[in-house]
């Protein structure tokens, strides 16, 4: 189930005024907020026997990035680097999402706290996070850092202040053809990028698309 949108009220949704609509992944083992990798399956080579040279390069590049990122979880306490707000932005079966600010800056991030106790397979979850890290696309929520302690894994992600597409549709009652075309165009571009990297998004729905009006200053 997807979490509720941010509590603040928004003006009627106009996709043409947004910087971008961002795809996120929801999953059974983490929160339905921003990027939750467990709904992204990495197909094996046997599932794509007739690879083109371009596809082979994508596969090698993705595998190399995965190898470089493995084992780089930050074991320092997240509160050493971030001031985390007490109020929750969202809540799911296995954890919560709060806003956080990197100390010494005004950069706002979404910090997702995932309970290890609720994870059925922590090793697989770590591998899925590593698959997600190298992704770089304007319509995919960025993952900046991962922290880990004895009880939890913390994902530091881009903060999407526009809320869920689902809530915007409910507020508007319906989207007209032009608005729908804008959203679908961005969605199709993102899915094409994922498929080019041999990643399948298995839960595409309005609840799993976030609206971003502006990026945090960096």
Positions marked active-site: 203
Instruction: Annotate 74-118 with DSSP letters as a single string.
Output: B-S-HHHHEEEEEEEEEE-SSEEEEEEEETTS--EEEEEEEEGGG
Tell whether residue 112 is among the known ligand binding residues: yes
Report the distance separating Cα 14 and Cα 196, nearest Å: 30
Give 20's strand partners.
212
Element (H, E) at 135: none
The DSSP output letter for 6 is P
The tokens 């608005």 sit on which residue? Answer: 179
- What SS3 state is found at 168? helix
The DSSP output letter for 99 is E
Question: Residues annotated in the binding site for ATP, as ranges?
Answer: 112
């Amino acid at each position: 189930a997807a979490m509720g949108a941010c509590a603040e009220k928004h003006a009627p949704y106009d996709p043409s005024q947004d910087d971008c609509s961002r795809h996120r992944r929801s999953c059974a083992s983490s929160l339905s907020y921003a990027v939750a990798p467990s709904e992204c399956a990495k197909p094996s080579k046997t599932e794509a026997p007739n690879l083109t040279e371009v596809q082979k390069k994508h596969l090698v590049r993705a595998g190399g990035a995965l190898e470089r990122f493995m084992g780089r979880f930050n074991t320092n306490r997240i509160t050493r680097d971030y001031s985390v707000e007490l109020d929750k932005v969202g809540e799911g079966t296995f954890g919560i999402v709060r806003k956080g600010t990197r100390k010494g800056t005004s950069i706002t991030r979404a910090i997702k706290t995932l309970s290890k106790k609720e994870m059925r397979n922590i090793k697989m979850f770590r591998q899925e996070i590593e698959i997600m890290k190298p992704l770089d696309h304007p319509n995919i929520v960025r993952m900046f850092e991962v922290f880990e302690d004895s009880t939890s894994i913390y994902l530091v992600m881009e903060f999407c202040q526009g809320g869920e597409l689902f809530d915007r549709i409910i507020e508007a009652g319906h989207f007209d053809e032009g608005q729908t075309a804008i959203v679908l165009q961005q969605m199709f571009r993102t899915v094409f990028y994922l498929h080019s990297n041999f990643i399948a998004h298995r839960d595409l729905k309005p609840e799993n698309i976030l609206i971003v009006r502006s990026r945090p200053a960096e």
